[in-house]
Structure 1
Amino acid sequence: MTEKRSGEESGTKTYYRSDRFYSEEGGWFAKLREGEELGPFDSKDEAKQALADFIELYKNESPEA
Protein backbone atom coordinates (compact mmCIF):
# COMPACT_ATOMS: atom_id res chain seq x y z
CA MET A 1 0.00 0.00 0.00
CA THR A 2 1.29 3.44 -0.88
CA GLU A 3 0.27 6.67 0.75
CA LYS A 4 -0.13 9.92 -1.13
CA ARG A 5 1.34 13.10 0.26
CA SER A 6 -0.70 16.27 0.42
CA GLY A 7 -1.08 17.61 -3.11
CA GLU A 8 -0.34 14.33 -4.87
CA GLU A 9 -3.01 13.20 -7.26
CA SER A 10 -4.26 9.67 -7.64
CA GLY A 11 -3.45 8.16 -10.99
CA THR A 12 -2.63 5.00 -12.80
CA LYS A 13 1.13 5.32 -12.29
CA THR A 14 2.75 4.12 -9.10
CA TYR A 15 5.74 6.01 -7.83
CA TYR A 16 7.98 4.58 -5.15
CA ARG A 17 9.84 6.82 -2.77
CA SER A 18 13.40 5.81 -2.12
CA ASP A 19 14.56 5.22 1.40
CA ARG A 20 16.04 8.42 2.80
CA PHE A 21 18.30 6.55 5.18
CA TYR A 22 21.45 4.64 4.36
CA SER A 23 24.53 3.32 6.09
CA GLU A 24 28.02 4.00 4.82
CA GLU A 25 31.40 3.44 6.46
CA GLY A 26 29.81 2.69 9.83
CA GLY A 27 27.61 5.79 9.96
CA TRP A 28 23.95 6.41 9.20
CA PHE A 29 22.86 9.25 6.92
CA ALA A 30 19.58 10.88 5.92
CA LYS A 31 19.15 12.22 2.38
CA LEU A 32 17.45 15.57 1.87
CA ARG A 33 15.50 16.56 -1.24
CA GLU A 34 18.07 19.20 -2.13
CA GLY A 35 20.65 16.48 -2.66
CA GLU A 36 22.35 17.16 0.66
CA GLU A 37 22.64 14.74 3.53
CA LEU A 38 22.58 14.76 7.31
CA GLY A 39 25.05 12.66 9.23
CA PRO A 40 26.85 10.57 10.09
CA PHE A 41 24.88 9.23 13.05
CA ASP A 42 25.52 6.20 15.23
CA SER A 43 22.19 4.57 14.39
CA LYS A 44 19.33 4.70 11.91
CA ASP A 45 17.05 5.88 14.72
CA GLU A 46 19.34 8.86 15.35
CA ALA A 47 19.30 9.69 11.64
CA LYS A 48 15.49 9.49 11.62
CA GLN A 49 15.26 11.83 14.59
CA ALA A 50 17.70 14.29 13.01
CA LEU A 51 15.63 14.33 9.82
CA ALA A 52 12.42 14.87 11.80
CA ASP A 53 14.09 17.75 13.69
CA PHE A 54 15.34 19.24 10.42
CA ILE A 55 11.88 19.08 8.83
CA GLU A 56 10.29 20.68 11.90
CA LEU A 57 12.87 23.48 11.86
CA TYR A 58 12.31 24.01 8.13
CA LYS A 59 8.54 24.15 8.57
CA ASN A 60 8.88 26.74 11.34
CA GLU A 61 11.18 28.93 9.22
CA SER A 62 9.00 28.68 6.10
CA PRO A 63 7.03 31.88 5.36
CA GLU A 64 3.98 29.69 4.69
CA ALA A 65 4.03 28.24 8.22
Structure 2
Amino acid sequence: MSSNLRDGEQGTVPDRKGRFLEKSGYWYYMTREGVDIGPFDSRADAEIGVGEFIDYVCSSAPGAAKIIERYRAA
Protein backbone atom coordinates (compact mmCIF):
# COMPACT_ATOMS: atom_id res chain seq x y z
CA MET A 1 0.00 0.00 0.00
CA SER A 2 1.38 3.42 -0.99
CA SER A 3 1.45 6.24 1.54
CA ASN A 4 2.00 9.95 1.08
CA LEU A 5 3.23 10.33 4.65
CA ARG A 6 6.72 11.71 4.95
CA ASP A 7 9.39 10.32 7.25
CA GLY A 8 8.33 10.89 10.84
CA GLU A 9 4.68 11.69 10.03
CA GLN A 10 1.86 9.69 11.51
CA GLY A 11 -1.89 9.68 11.07
CA THR A 12 -3.72 11.10 8.10
CA VAL A 13 -1.89 12.72 5.22
CA PRO A 14 -2.04 16.52 5.55
CA ASP A 15 -3.40 18.59 2.66
CA ARG A 16 -0.41 20.04 0.84
CA LYS A 17 -2.22 21.32 -2.25
CA GLY A 18 -2.91 24.72 -0.71
CA ARG A 19 0.70 25.27 0.26
CA PHE A 20 1.68 26.98 -3.02
CA LEU A 21 0.56 30.39 -4.19
CA GLU A 22 1.35 32.72 -7.04
CA LYS A 23 1.72 36.47 -6.53
CA SER A 24 2.75 38.95 -9.22
CA GLY A 25 4.15 36.22 -11.46
CA TYR A 26 6.26 34.57 -8.74
CA TRP A 27 5.64 31.42 -6.70
CA TYR A 28 5.76 31.01 -2.93
CA TYR A 29 5.08 28.23 -0.47
CA MET A 30 3.53 28.63 2.95
CA THR A 31 4.98 26.97 6.02
CA ARG A 32 2.79 25.43 8.73
CA GLU A 33 3.60 28.51 10.76
CA GLY A 34 1.95 30.70 8.11
CA VAL A 35 5.13 32.20 6.64
CA ASP A 36 5.27 32.70 2.84
CA ILE A 37 8.69 31.67 1.49
CA GLY A 38 9.83 32.85 -1.92
CA PRO A 39 9.85 34.22 -4.51
CA PHE A 40 10.53 31.37 -6.92
CA ASP A 41 10.39 31.68 -10.71
CA SER A 42 8.13 28.63 -11.10
CA ARG A 43 5.89 26.34 -9.08
CA ALA A 44 8.38 23.53 -9.72
CA ASP A 45 11.12 25.62 -8.09
CA ALA A 46 8.81 26.32 -5.13
CA GLU A 47 8.11 22.59 -4.78
CA ILE A 48 11.84 21.89 -4.65
CA GLY A 49 12.24 24.71 -2.13
CA VAL A 50 9.56 23.38 0.21
CA GLY A 51 11.16 19.93 0.14
CA GLU A 52 14.52 21.42 1.07
CA PHE A 53 12.90 23.50 3.80
CA ILE A 54 11.20 20.43 5.30
CA ASP A 55 14.47 18.50 5.20
CA TYR A 56 16.21 21.40 6.96
CA VAL A 57 13.59 21.70 9.70
CA CYS A 58 13.56 17.93 10.26
CA SER A 59 17.34 17.84 10.68
CA SER A 60 17.50 20.99 12.84
CA ALA A 61 17.26 21.36 16.58
CA PRO A 62 13.78 20.78 18.04
CA GLY A 63 13.29 24.52 18.58
CA ALA A 64 13.75 25.46 14.90
CA ALA A 65 10.00 25.68 14.25
CA LYS A 66 9.59 28.08 17.18
CA ILE A 67 12.22 30.37 15.67
CA ILE A 68 10.38 30.34 12.33
CA GLU A 69 7.12 31.26 14.07
CA ARG A 70 8.63 34.65 14.98
CA TYR A 71 8.41 35.58 11.30
CA ARG A 72 4.68 34.86 11.01
CA ALA A 73 2.77 37.70 9.41
CA ALA A 74 0.58 39.48 11.93
TM-score, length basis structure 2: 0.62
| Structure 2 residue 39 is matched with structure 1 residue 36 | no
Higher relative contact order, chain-length normalized (CA < 8 Å, sep 6+): 2
Q: Which runs of 5+ in 1 are unaligned?
A: 10-15
Secondary structure at the counterpart of residue 22 of structure 1: strand
Separation in structure 2 between the aligned mates of residue 55 and residue 27 of structure 1, nearest angstrom: 21
Q: Which runs of 5+ in 2 are unaligned?
A: 63-74
TM-score, length basis structure 1: 0.69
Aligned to 1:13: none
Change beyond 3 A, Cα 1:48–1:4:
closer
Aligned to 1:22: 21
Give the C-alpha shift of residue 27 in structure 1: 0.4
Which protein has the larger Cα radius of gyration, Structure 1 or Structure 2?
1
Separation in structure 1 between the aligned mates of residue 10 and residue 53 of structure 2, nearest angstrom: 21
Give the C-alpha shift of residue 19 in structure 1: 1.5
Separation in structure 2 between the aligned mates of residue 24 and residue 45 of structure 1, nearest angstrom: 15
Number of residue-to-residue matches in the alignment: 56
| Structure 2 residue 37 is matched with structure 1 residue 58 | no
